Structure 1
Amino acid sequence: MGCNNEIQISLMPDLSENLSNEELVWEEIMKIKTMPISMAHKKELKAKLKSADAFRLQGFQQLKWQKRKICNCLKIKWLEFYNKFNLWSSSFKKIEGHCGAGVVEFFLFIKLLIFLNAFTMVVVLIVLIFPSVYWVESKEGTAPDLWNECGSSNESASIECCSAIYENTTRIVRPRVNMHYIMDIIQGTGWVETTPMYYSYYPNQQFSVGKLFTYHVPLAYIVSTISYFILFFLIIVRKSIKGFKQRMVETQVQYYLYSNSIFIGWDFCINNKISAILKQKAIFNELRSFLIADRPKFENRNRSKQINIIIIRLLISFLVIALIGSACFSVYLIFYYSIKLLQRDQTFMWAFLLEFATPVAITFYNIVLPIIFDVFLKFENRSMYQETRLCILRIICVRLSLLVVLLGSIYKLINCVREKSQCASALCSSPLCWETYVGKIMYKLLIVDVACKIGITILISCPRSILVRHFKNNFFQVMCKQELNLAKHVLDVIYIQIIVWLGSFYVALLPVLGLISMVIMFYIKRFSCIINYSLAQKVYSPSRAHSMIMSMLLMSYVLCLTTWLAAVSKITPSRSCGPFKGLPSVWKVLIDYIRTIPSWTVTCYEILFSVNFVVPLIFILSCIVYYYHTVMRSNKKMIVVLRKQLVLEGHDKQFLLNRLSAFIKQQDRRRKATENNGEIDVLLS
C-alpha cells in the first residue's frame, strides 16, 4: 500500500514549478494582441506560450472557460463580418491618410446622424404617416358641404368652419408635371401642402381598429416626436461620455505627444504599401501640427506689443458684434417686407423670389460672415487653439442669432392679438395654419442651405483647387489656397440637424430630407477634404475632435429641445388645421390620455413628481454625487503619489544600475591587472 502511494506521488506534477493553467495561458495570448511590438515578436511570444506546460482545467471551470472562449471567438467573427459591410470604410482610410484621424471622427459623426435620421424616419412612418394616410384617405369627403355652410368669413367661425376655410384655400387640382409642379416641390407649397408631409394633413380624430385598440392621431403625433427626441438624447449622451473618457486619458499624456506619435503611432496590422503610405502621411501631419501649435510658446513679446494686440482684439470684437447685429436686423426687415409684398398680387417669378428671400438672406450671412471673421483672425495674433475656439464661438453666435431672429419674427406674427372666435388674426394677417407656415420656412431653409453648400463646393472651391495645383504663381497660391477648417464643417452639419430638429414637428417628412441631406453632405465634404483642400496646419486628435463635435451637438440639442418644449406648451395650436386644433396646448393631449389610464398609474405619476418625493431624491442624489466626487479627488491624489513613487523607483533603479556598472568596470580592471601580473610573472620566470 505504501509502495502504491509512493508511485502515485511520483507521478504527480511538481507544483514548485508554478505552472499556469489553460485559462491563464489563453489570457496571456489575448494580451499579446494589445502589445506595441512587431508582428514577428508577437508570433514568437505566442509560440512560446503554446509550447509551455500548463494544467488542464476540470469540471465546471473547464466548461466556464470554453464558454468564454466561444463567446470571444463569436465576437471577433461578428466584428470581422460587420467590418466587411461597414459603410464607407475605404473612404475613412483615405481621409485619415490625407487629413488625419481627427477628421475621420467628423465623418463618423455624419454617419451617426445618417443612421439616427434613418431610425427617426422609420419611427415616423410606422407610428404616424402610414396609419394616418390609411384612415384619412378613407374618411375624406365631408369638408366641401361644411364649406358651403360656413362660407369664407374669418370672423366668428367655429373650429369646424376654420378647418373648412383652410381646406378650401389649399384645395387645388393637382397639376401635371410642369414648371408650376416643380416649383411647388421646391417651395413646399401648392399641392405639396396637402400631402402627409405637413402638419395640416393630420386630423384631430381617432380611429378604431376592431376591438383591439383605438388609434389616436394627436397622441401618435406627439409620441413619435418625443420618441425620437429621447433616442437622440440617449445616443448623444452615450457618445459624449465616451469622448469625455478618451479626453481625460489624453490630458494625462499631453506632455508626451511627440513620443506617443513616434513610438506607438504605427499600426502593425498594415500589410500593403498604400495603407502604409497613408499611415506615414497621417503621422507626418500629426507631428507637423504639434510643431506649429508649439511655435507661439517660444515667441517673445514685449509690453507694447501686448498692448497693441489687446487694442486690436477689442476693436475687432466690437466690429464682429456690429456685423452680427446688422445681419440680424436685415433678416428681420427682409422677413416683414417679404410678407407685406406677398399679400399683394405678384407675378409668379417675383412671388417665388419673395418666398425664398428670408432663407437666402440667412444662408448668405452664414456663408459670408465666417469668411470675414477668418480675415479678422489673421490680425488678432492668436494661437492655433485660440483661433479654433474663437472661430467656433463666432460662427455659433451668427447662426443662433439669425435663427433666434427668424423664430422671434414668426412668433410675433402668429401670436398677434385676435378674437377668440377668429380663425387667425386679421390685424397682422397671420396664417390660418401657422404650424404649416413654420414647416414651410424650415423646409426652404434646409433646401437653400444644402443647395448653397453644393454650389460653393463645385463652382468655387473646386476651381480654386485646380488653379492652386496647376499654377505655381504666388498670386494663385495666396488667393486660391484653401485649408481645412474642421470646426466650420462640423457646424455646417450640426446646422442642418438643428433645422431638422426645429422643423420635424411641423414637417413630418423632414427627417427623410435630413437623411438625404446628410448623405449629400458626406460626399460633398469628402470631396472637399481630399480634392479641394491642401494639408491643414492643424491636425485634430481623434479624442479632441470627438469631444468638440459631441459637445457642440449636445448644446444644439438642448437649445432645440427647449425651443420645441416652449412652443408646444406656450403657443396655442391653430384653429384651422392639425391634430391639436381647438386645444389650449399640445400637452393637453397627454394630460387627457393620462386621465384615461388606470388610477394607480396616475397615483404613481403624481407621487413620483410630487415635492415629497422629488426633494428627498435630489438630496440623496446630491449625497451620491458628493461621495463619488470625494472618491475621485482621493483617486487623483493617489495617482499623484504613485507617479512620484514611480519616479523615485526609477531613480533607485538608475542608481543601482550605475553602481552595478561601476562594480563591473572595477572587476574588469582587476581582472585585467591580474592577467597582466600573470604575464609578467611568466616572462620573469
Structure 2
Amino acid sequence: MKYLSEWDQWKRYSSKSWKRFIGKAREMASHLELWRKDIRSIEGKFGTGIQSYFSFLRFLVLLNLVIFLIIFLLVLLPILLTKYKITNSTFVFIPSKDTDIQCTVYPISSSGLIYFYSYIIDLLSGTGFLEETSLFYGHYTIDGVKFHNFSYDLPLAYLLSTIAYLALSLLWIVKRSVEGFKISLIRSEEHFQSYCNKIFAGWDFCITNRSMAELKHSSLRYELRADLEEERIRQKIAERTSEETIRIYSLRLFLNCIVLAVLAACFYAIYRATIFSQEHMKKKLCPHLCVFMRLATICVLVFTLGSKITSCDNYSCELCGYNQKLYPCWETQVGQEMYKLMIFDFIIILAVTLFVDFPRKLLVTYCSSWKLIQCWGQQEFAIPDNVLGIVYGQTICWIGAFFSPLLPAIATLKFIIIFYVKEMSLLHTCRPSPRQFRASNSNFFFLLVLLIGLCLAIIPLTISMARIPSSKACGPFTNFNTTWEVIPKTVGTFPSSLQSLVHGITSEAFAVPFFMIICLIMFYFIALAGAHKRVVDQLREQLSLESRDKRYLIQKLTEAQRDVRNRAD
C-alpha cells in the first residue's frame, strides 16, 4: 500500500471537501431555480417538448434581466446618483462645435389641454409624457458625470453597454446551443442505447413523493413516445421510393415558391404602410402588421425607417446628415417604434389567449354536439408558433435596447406574464400536440432561431451606429458624427504605446495572420473530432463483436450441456 504524506492527504481531503461543497451548492441552487416546480409539472403532464418551451422562456427572462442590469449599471446608475445628489458628482455638458442651430431643435408637443385618452395613447405608443423620460434615448443628453476623482464618459459607457449585452447574448446562446447539440448528437448516434437507458436506468430512486413519481412516470412515457415517433418517421423515410421522393421535393419546391411570393408581397405592403404611417400618422396610434410577420418583417421595418431617416425629398440633408425635419431625434423615434412593437405583441398574445383560446375551450366543452365545433376541435399547443412569438419579442428587445434603454426591463416583465398566461392556457384550454418533440432537439432548434434573431438585430444596430449620423438635438452623441466615433476618440486619449498596440491589433497586418491561425486551429479540431469519431466507431464495433462472441460461447456451452445430458440419459 502506497503511503501518502500529510500534504497529499490534506490535498485529497481538501479536494473531496470542495467537491462535496460544490455538489451541495448546486443542489441548493437547483431548489432556488425559477419556476422549477411548474416546469417539472409541465414536463410530467405534457412531455419534454412543451417543457423545453417553458425552459426556453425562463432563459429569456434571465437573459433580459442580465441585459437590464448591464445597462442600469453602466448608464442609468451614474445618472441617478448625480440627479438625486446621492454622491458628490455633477453632470458634464460639452458645448457643440460646428453644429448648425437648426440641427439642435427638438420640438416636443406636450402643451395645451390633454384628454384622458391621450395618456392611454401615449402609454401604448411611447409618445407624449413618456418621450421625455429615461425610457428613451433622447433623455440622456449629457456628455459625462464628474465624480470626485474621475470623470465618467457617458457616451462611451452607452456604446459599451450595447456591445456588452450583444456579446453576452451571443456567447450565452452559443454555449447553450453547443450543449444541446452535443446531447442531440450523442442520442442520434445510437437509438437502441437511448431505449435501454430510459427503460433500465431512467428511474430516479431518490423520488419518495407519490405525485413526483407519477410525474416521472409520465415524463418517461412521453420520452419513449417521442423516440418511437422518430423511429417511425425514419422508417417511413427509408421506405420511400424514388418517385415518392421526387414528388415530395417537387411539392415542397412549389409551396416554397408560393410562400416566397406571398412574403415578398407582404414585405412591400409593410414598406409602403410604414412610409405612410411615418409621413401622415406620426403622432397617432397605428396597428403594426409586423406582429404577424415575425422576424423577417423587423428587418423590413428597420430598413424602411433607415431609408426615411437618411433621405430628404424637398431639401438637402447635408446640413445635419439626416432628415432633421421629420426626425429631429431619430433614435428616440426608432425606440418608440420598437416600444410599440413590444407593447402590441404583448397585447395580441393576451388577447388571443383570453378572447380566442378560452371561448374555444368553452365551445368544445359545452357545445361538442355541433359538427362545426367537432371539426374545429380543441386548441393545440403549437410549439413552433409560440417559440417564434417569443423570439420575435426578444429580437425587438435587442434592437430597441440601444434606442430605449429600459426596454429589457419591460421585456422581462412581459415574458414573466407570458409564462403564467401560457401555462394557464396549456393547463386549461389546450391539448398536447399529437407529434412528439424531443427536448434536446427542441432546445437546439429554439436557440438556433434565437441566434438568427440576434444576427438580424446586430445588422441594423451596426449600420445605425457606424453609418447613420447621430442626432444633434438629443442623446449622448451630439458631439459626434456617428455613434462609433467615440471609440477612436477614446483610443486617442491612451498613451502612445497603447495606441500603437490597438492600431496594430485592428490593422489588416494582424487580422490576416490571426484569421489564418484561427482557421488552422479549427481544421485541427475538426480533424481531431473526426479521429475521435473513428475511434468511437471502432470501439462500438469491438463491443458488438464481443457480444457476438459471448453469444456464440453461450450457444456452444448450451449445446455441450445438452450433449452431456443426452449421454447421461
Query: Structures share a fold, TM > 0.5?
Result: yes
- CA offsets per residue over residues 21-77 of structure 1, 9 Å max, x none? xxxxxxxxxxxxxxxxxxxxxxxxxxxxxxxxxx99663333223212212221232
Partner Cα distance (2:71, 2:114) in 1: 29
Equivalent of 1:193, from 131, 155, 161? 131
Quickly say closer, same or farther: Cα 1:326–1:255, change in 2 above 3 A.
farther
Give, in whole Å, the separation in 2 of the partners of 1:334 and 1:654: 73
Equivalent pairs counted in the alignment come to 555
* Map of 2:318 onto structure 1: 420
- Map 1:170-249 to 2 at 5 A: 170=108, 172=110, 178-210=116-148, 212-249=149-186
Match of 1:535 in 2: 432
User: 2:526 is matched with which residue?
Assistant: 629
TM value normalised by structure 1: 0.75
1:492 aligned to which of 366, 383, 389? 389
Q: Give the structure 1 partner of residue 338 of structure 2.
A: 442
Deviation string 1:494-549 (CA, Å, 9 cap, x unpaired) is: 11110000111111111111111111121122223322221222222221112111
Counterpart amino acid of residue 580 in structure 1 = F
1:322 is aligned to 2:217: no
Structure 1: 5+ residue runs without aligned partners?
Answer: 1-14, 16-54, 147-156, 344-350, 367-397, 674-685
Cα distance in 2 between the residues matched to 1:274 and 1:205: 59
Q: CA deviation at 1:562?
A: 2.3
- Give the aligned partner of residue 422 of structure 2: 525
Residue 406 of structure 1 and its aligned partner are, at CA, apart by 1.0
Q: 1:93: how far off?
A: 1.2
Q: 1:90 is matched with which residue?
A: 37
Distance 1:203 1:228, change over 3 A: same
The answer to whether the 8 A contact 2:229-2:436 is kept is: no
Map 1:212-611 → 2, pairs under 5 A:
212-295=149-232, 297-298=235-236, 312-342=251-281, 352=284, 355-357=285-287, 359=288, 361-363=289-291, 366=292, 398-417=293-312, 418-421=316-319, 425=323, 429-473=325-369, 475-611=372-508
Judged with a 3 Å threshold, the aligned counterparts in structure 2 of structure 1 residues 262 and 596 are, in CA distance, closer, same or farther, namely same
Matched residue of 2:131: which SS? helix
Structure-2 change in CA distance of 1:310 and 1:552 (3 Å): closer
Task: Give distance in 2, aligned partners of 1:255 and 1:658.
Answer: 24
CA displacement 1:141-200 (0-9 Å, x = unmatched) = x9xxx9xxxxxxxxxx9445533x31xx21636989943333322221112111111111
- How many Å separate the matches in 2 of 1:642 and 1:541? 27
Aligned partner letter, 1:326: A
The 1:191–1:276 alpha-carbon spacing in structure 2 relative to 1, beyond 3 Å, is same
Residue number in structure 1 paired with 2:48:
101
Larger Rg: 1
Q: Structure 2 matches for 1:106-117, cutoff 5 A?
A: 106-117=53-64
- Name the CA distance, whole Å, in 2 between partners of 1:174 and 1:668: 110
- The residue number in structure 2 matching 1:126 is 73
Secondary structure of the 1:194 match is coil
Whole-Å separation in 2 of the counterparts to 1:133 and 1:160? 29
Pairing 1:33-112 to 2, within 5 Å after superposition: 59-112=6-59
Q: What's the C-alpha RMSD, in Å, of the aligned pairs?
A: 2.9
Gaps of 5+ in 2: none
Distance 1:309 1:443 in 2: 43
Does the 8 Å contact 1:293/1:538 carry over to 2? no
Higher relative contact order (CA 8 A, sep 6+): 2
**Structure 2 contact 183–440 (Cα < 8 Å) conserved:** yes
**Contact residue 423 and residue 575 of structure 1 kept, 8 A:** no
Residues 233 and 401 of structure 1, relative CA distance in 2, 3 Å threshold: closer
**CA shift digits 1:343-402 (9 cap, x unpaired):** 7xxxxxxx64xx323x2x222xx1xxxxxxxxxxxxxxxxxxxxxxxxxxxxxxx43332
Q: Is the 8 A contact 1:117 1:515 kept in 2?
A: yes
- Counterpart of 1:48? none
Secondary structure of residue in 2 paired with 1:215 = strand
